[in-house]
Structure 1
Amino acid sequence: MTPPPGLYLPSPQHVCKLQRSLYGLRQASRQWYAKLSTFLLSNNYYIPAADHSLFLKYNNDKLTVILVYVDDLILTSDDREEINTITASLHHHFKIKNLGHLTYFLGLEITRNSSGLHLSQRKYTLDLLHEIGMLDFAPVATPMTHTSRLSPDQGSPLDADATSQYRRLLGRLIYLTNTQLDIAFVVHNFSQFIYAPTNHHQQAVSRLLRYLRGTPGEGLYFSHTSPLHLCGFSDSDWVTCTTTRKSVTGYFIYLGDSLISWKSKKQLTICTKHIEIDCHLVREKLNSGLPKLLPCKLLTYSPRPLLSHSSLLSNPSWA
């Protein structure tokens, strides 16, 4: 690093060699992650390929999860002994501070009760409305009118400052879709015009903000007694995008009674027939590696004859 002012050096060509990474330097976060990950890996944790900020450890039928964001860690497990062990080890090596049960993290509010968990972004939403100056506006019932069809040619272009504000606002609304899936489709629709927004698009975003004014505490609920079975639903519209003539696909997946995944995305190809829409959805998911095709053995099937009400009465063994 460059020598600080006031430090005497025998030659102006000399530089300082860091023995430890200083907080605030560019390489500080990398060095911190390297040190933390080395410690956790030495304690039999592993990093999944999908997320390098996530550390998992299986001990028989017990699971321990550590989520890392810079120097903040979230620890959860169904093994109380492992929680105490890893907490003591982390405190011994890094002098951590235990903040207790998780209640607020990166704009997410976590509320617990006897029956489950509730995730919301109420404070994040209210702060956003206060910053925009729409905290006192009257709320509306829907985030977007069902007859609204946005296109790049509607309205007059915004100036540079308004365009920059529109883009920043869309970025914050995208983060809000982490807990409010009811605005996922609308935010996806607005994001298509982020390169050249108009006053018509700005008015549509204002309606979405008025909708959020009436639902700041909406979020996700995870029940303690929810059964552990997966259930998914998907649907596609018919060439809703008037610009590209492409269809929009949406899906959501439940684990029991708890919603765990959802998405709204424009399809990559143009469909000429309505039946092709779902076929394109399956093809895109196969290409992304989400489902896997497994070989199966074909079974012969002999259908039973259709019986009328009278035949059931005459043959009670069929009933």
Structure 2
Amino acid sequence: MEGIDYHETFSPTAKIISVRCLLSLAAAQNWSIHQLDVHNAFLHGDLDEEIFMSPPPGLRRQGENLADYSLFTHKQGKSFTALLIYVDDILITGNDPITISALKNFLNSRFRIKDLGDLKYFLGIEVSHSKNGIYISQRKYALEIISDAGLLGVAPVDTPMERGLKLSNKGDLLKDASSYRRLVGRLIYLTITRPDNTYSVHVLSRFMHEPRKPHMEAALRVVRYLKNTPGQGLFFSSQSDFRLRAYCDSDWAGCPMTRRSTTGYCVFFGSSLISWKSKRQKTVSLSSAEAEYRSITGACCELTWLRSLLRYLNILHSKPALLYCDNRAALQIAANPVFHERTRHIEMDCHYIRDKIQDGSVATKHVSSSFQLADVFTKALEKEVFIPLIRKLGARDIHSPT
């Protein structure tokens, strides 16, 4: 809304998942990451007519199934270079320093480019490098949220949401809804490096149109949780087997207003968490097995896209991506080629997943509920369960004493 949050919007180009994937690959390959900034990325003044431009010389169409249109790669022999663009910021990495230097000089000869050196700060993300890997966080941004909320002096809490809390459309309406929308919007951007906040922020975002007092109290609890670990972020290890594995889960009929289930999944590249989601399903599931099966579908779609993205990054997967689920009934539906009365309403999902299993791109595995990492994205957990799970996701705080 212009005049309220207009100046805090941003222009999305490269997918944030692509950024995390590129960083995890660079950490695993021990590649240096360079950052460039383009001067005058936007034209000054308004355009009152349509402008038609010809593609620049040398631009070749790479097919209709590009994983990310802001990712450009170059391979010649053993030399590999990747370039990722986010509005006027550019990341370059690869295994050939000479090619990277030549690319910098070429770009600078065509545009006004500022070489910012090794990547340290990008889109509000702080990046730290070591021989063990790459660490990313949004500590400065988190501290700004805490300060602007006026909670610098309050006691922190250990979890972002009270265990078992179910927010609904009950309670007094807020007099100033914009303050709630602004806070939740900032918390959404913070989830770039904070998977531990994803579920709570997802639930809070359901009430942006008509926020109430209990919703604001829950949002402020998330801020109190940030105060406990403002510098927490993600660690991308230098040790990697370059294999994709995912965990998926669902909270059957968890929404008290619509009785729709919540899908949650997380995807690892080697030991590095690169993608995750918490989302309310579009339809009501008639059983827990159906809800779990729909969560398998979402995770399978993400794995398929990530395989395509990694292929452009010169990582070819000969082995299937592993998909872990704790519901045996859902796994049996995926393995059973026979449709019957109880599965006819999820037939399209069945076809999609079975195709991926049969072509060898995805393999489903059972995991016990106690080792289900996706629980963090489907429900509010108690401290004793929540903290060990986020540690297994790769969450770290290098600013806190060990």
Q: TM-score, normalized by length of structure 2? A: 0.61
Q: Which of 159, 163, 172 is matched with 2:186 structurally?
A: 172
Aligned match of 2:56: 38
Q: How many angstroms apart in 1 are the aligned matches of 2:258 and 2:160?
A: 23
Give 3-state SS (helix, strand or coil) of 2:156's partner.
coil
- Quote how far apart the aligned CAs of 1:285 are: 6.0
Are residues 1:69 and 2:86 paired? yes
Q: How many angstroms apart in 1 are the aligned matches of 2:42 and 2:136?
A: 35
Give 3-state SS (helix, strand or coil) of 2:283's partner.
coil
Aligned match of 1:156: 172
Q: How many angstroms apart in 1 are the aligned matches of 2:357 and 2:294?
A: 22
- Quote how far apart the aligned CAs of 1:256 are: 1.3
Letter in 2 for 1:261: S
Give 3-state SS (helix, strand or coil) of 2:207's partner.
coil
Please list the CA deviations of residues 137-182 of structure 1 after superposition, one character each: whole Å capped at 9, or x if unmatched. Answer: 21101100112110012x10012xx201111111111111110000
Q: How many angstroms apart in 1 are the aligned matches of 2:298 and 2:231?
A: 34
- Quote how far apart the aligned CAs of 1:46 are: 5.6
Q: Which of 273, 277, 290 is matched with 2:291 structurally?
A: 277
- Quote how far apart the aligned CAs of 1:186 are: 0.4
User: 1:46, 1:55 within 8 Å by CA — same for their partners in 2?
Assistant: no
Q: How many angstroms apart in 2 are the aligned matches of 1:285 and 1:122?
A: 29
User: 1:45, 1:56 within 8 Å by CA — same for their partners in 2?
Assistant: no
Unaligned 5+ residue runs, structure 2? 1-40, 306-351, 360-402
> CA RMSD, aligned part only?
2.9
- Quote how far apart the aligned CAs of 1:283 are: 4.6
Q: How many angstroms apart in 1 are the aligned matches of 2:146 and 2:126?
A: 17
Give the 3 Å change call, closer, same or farther, for CA 135–91 of structure 1 in structure 2: same
Give 3-state SS (helix, strand or coil) of 1:213's partner.
helix
Unaligned 5+ residue runs, structure 1? 1-20, 298-319
Give 3-state SS (helix, strand or coil) of 1:100's partner.
strand
Q: Which of 71, 79, 87 is matched with 2:104 structurally?
A: 87
Give 3-state SS (helix, strand or coil) of 1:269's partner.
coil
Letter in 2 for 1:229: R
- Quote how far apart the aligned CAs of 1:54 are: 2.5
Q: How many angstroms apart in 1 are the aligned matches of 2:46 and 2:86?
A: 16
Aligned match of 1:25: 45
Q: How many angstroms apart in 2 are the aligned matches of 1:295 and 1:110?
A: 37
Which one has more relative contact order, counting CA pairs under 8 Å at least 6 apart? 2
User: 2:265, 2:295 within 8 Å by CA — same for their partners in 1?
Assistant: no
Letter in 1 for 2:205: S
Q: How many angstroms apart in 2 are the aligned matches of 1:22 and 1:267?
A: 38
Q: How many angstroms apart in 1 are the aligned matches of 2:75 and 2:250?
A: 39
Give 3-state SS (helix, strand or coil) of 1:207's partner.
helix
Please list the CA deviations of residues 230-254 of structure 1 after superposition, one character each: whole Å capped at 9, or x if unmatched. Answer: 1111111121110000111111111
Q: How many angstroms apart in 2 are the aligned matches of 1:269 and 1:295?
A: 25
Letter in 2 for 1:149: K
Give the 3 Å change call, closer, same or farther, for CA 122–45 of structure 1 in structure 2: farther
Q: How many angstroms apart in 2 are the aligned matches of 1:122 and 1:115?
A: 21
User: 1:46, 1:56 within 8 Å by CA — same for their partners in 2?
Assistant: no
Aligned match of 1:10: none
Aligned match of 1:60: 77
Q: Which of 257, 279, 282 is matched with 1:243 structurally?
A: 257
Q: How many angstroms apart in 2 are the aligned matches of 1:286 and 1:147?
A: 28
Give the 3 Å change call, closer, same or farther, for CA 165–140 of structure 1 in structure 2: same
Give 3-state SS (helix, strand or coil) of 2:264's partner.
strand
Q: How many angstroms apart in 1 are the aligned matches of 2:261 and 2:42?
A: 51
Letter in 2 for 1:74: L
Aligned match of 1:218: 232
- Aligned pairs, number: 268
Q: Which of 263, 269, 272 is matched with 1:258 structurally?
A: 272
Percent of pairs with identical residues? 38
Letter in 1 for 2:216: Q
- Quote how far apart the aligned CAs of 1:26 are: 4.2
Letter in 2 for 1:64: T
Give 3-state SS (helix, strand or coil) of 2:173's partner.
coil
Letter in 2 for 1:92: S
- Quote how far apart the aligned CAs of 1:117 are: 0.1
Q: How many angstroms apart in 1 are the aligned matches of 2:240 and 2:255?
A: 38
- Quote how far apart the aligned CAs of 1:80 are: 1.5
